Chain A
Amino acid sequence: MSGTQAGKFLGRNLQSSSKSFLAPVAGAVALAGAGALLDWRLGLVLAVWLAAWGLNIVLTESGSPGRRFVVPTLFGITLLVLWQMSVRLFDISQVILPAPTDIWEAITTSGPVLWADFVQTVVKGALSGYVMGAVLAIATAIAVDRSQFLQRGLLPVGNFIAALPIVGTAPILVMWFGFGWQSKAAVVVVMVFFPILVNTVAGLKETDAMQRDLMRTYAASYWQSFAKLRLPAALPFIFNGLKVSTTLALIGAIVAEFFGSPIVGMGFRIKTSFGTLELAMVWAEIAVAAVAGSGLYGLVTLAEKRLTFWHPSQRAGR
């Protein structure tokens, strides 16, 4: 680009950006001012919100390489700050909504309790059930793989059952398997089974006619073409089911505890802390659940990246 061109380009850019900046800024100031007239606290909250949003706009427009990370982080922090400010400024009761700092305090002071609950609910209940359910579902999909007839029946039925409120089986399974983690694992098995089954069956059907013909020209046996062609081709689908199921597993394990549990577990803690109005503890458990949920999802995503690096959806970065 020559000097004059660059100059023109810059000038036009500055012009347009100064024009487009001025109006929103004036609007924001006016809005915050109006809020302040009603209630100075409201004005303050609005001012912080608008300032943070403005900063985010600037960051977005800047085109700096780190913005993909910085902008959402800033947005998250803004939400936390606004939450904290609102609770403190409007003097909201602990019983209704604790401030983030209160929740953090609950997390730090009751670490051992949270850890015990985590082990009981996530490791014993959710994870064991998740693994059993996934193995069972994939095994079932492979078992019906040779029968077109069963697949045609199983796909719609499985899809239908996957849309049902399966958590509702929790009271029945708690009655069958007792209050321990086994009943929670059972609920999780039932919840994750159908999504994974449906995805695996669909995935195993994924190969196109040409690829199957190729295997035929090699006179490959059923298991050879299964192991070398159809299973790898099905992996993206299987992982889809596995990812959807991570959240279901945690939901199942926690909700099942509402129907009966030993005196440990995240669902149990949420229920009892709620009864005694220790809301900070409830939120602490929610935070743990959130981290556990994202962590589990992250792990599965990582495995997916390793195993299906070749799929177009994973290739972008390579």
Chain B
Amino acid sequence: MSQDTVIKAEGLNLVFETNDGPVHALKDVDLEIDKGEFVSFIGPSGCGKTTFLRCIAALETPTGGGLSVNGMTPDEARRNRAYGYVFQAAGLYPWRTIAGNIKLPLEIMGYSRADQESRVKNVLELVDLEGFGKKYPWQLSGGMQQRASIARALAFDADILLMDEPFGALDEIVRDHLNEQLLQLWARTNKTIGFVTHSIPEAVYLSTKIVVMSPRPGRITDIIDSPLPKERPLDIRDTPEFLEIAHRVREGLRAGHAYDD
């Protein structure tokens, strides 16, 4: 284990007991994520990518194998507030303003009033929502709501950011824009990001490491380290290097599917 390994999974297994018998959601997953990496998990539905993310967040409990976050068990890490989590839907409280929503975790974690205010101001700037603090979520567009929910996850000092298809419900154009912003944000904050998606271009564009997964049982079929530079304009997606990685990801996904047919 290298010095700056943040998340380490060894032979991780998770079996759900359902009415139709046991379901192997994760099988023998081995993975190391280093500090400051941007890791995407990609695969068809049922491949366990969200489940794996939830295991890291201690929202699911693995049934076998080892998993450590910051050198602790996931649940200890959760109680140490080691990560921010962004869900598929913004999930902002309609009865709180945008600023109030961002303050929510700060209140729970006991930050001081003054600290809360300055942090809200900072993260609102970070996600480009200055001046919207006093608005209610339902007065904002879907893309702005999702940005606010990212701000909420950034507001406290966690160096891991876990994102579960955060842009899945948005249209392509908004999504491009948010992807670009997310990269800038990552460069500025130097957080470790785990990102679940089912879009190949999104995964390739964002990540330093792409984890390709496949279903029944949910497992990792390929891990691709991206050679792309850290500085990535949107049109990098038309370069041969980009297309080559995308091709490899697609091959990996297809290989995982093959045994379905």
Contact = CB atoms under 8 A, between A and B. Distances in A.
Direct contact of A and B (CB under 8 A): yes
Contacts of B57: 217
Contacts of A310: 94-95, 136, 138
B87 interface: yes
Given A214-B87, A228-B104, A232-B95, A219 B79 contact: yes
Contact of A217 (B84, B88, B107, B138): B84
Contacts of B81: 218-219
Nearest to B95: A310
A217 B108 contact: no
B36 interface: no
B87 A216 contact: no
B87 A315 contact: no
A186 to B, nearest CB: 35
B91 A311 contact: no
Given A217-B83, A217-B85, A228 B78 contact: no
Interface residues of B, number: 24
B16 interface: no
B138 A315 contact: yes
Interface in A219-253: 219-220, 224, 228-229, 232, 235
A91 interface: no
Contact of B91 (A210, A232, A312, A315): A210
B87 A213 contact: yes
A94 interface: no
B105 interface: yes
Given A228-B104, A310-B136, A216 B78 contact: yes
A232 B79 CA distance: 24
Nearest to A221: B108
Nearest to B136: A310
A308 to B, nearest CB: 8
A17 interface: no
A211 interface: yes
Nearest to B75: A219
A232 B81 CA distance: 24
Contacts of B109: 218
B107 A213 contact: no
A228 B85 contact: no
Interface string B130-154: 0000001010000000000000000
A213 to B, nearest CB: 5
A207 to B, nearest CB: 10
A169 B83 CA distance: 56
A211 B91 contact: yes
Contacts of A215: 108
Contact of A224 (B78, B85, B87, B108): B108
20 contacts: A210-B87, A210-B88, A210-B89, A211-B91, A213-B59, A214-B85, A216-B78, A217-B57, A217-B78, A217-B83, A218-B108, A220-B108, A228-B107, A229-B93, A232-B93, A232-B95, A309-B95, A310-B94, A310-B138, A312-B138
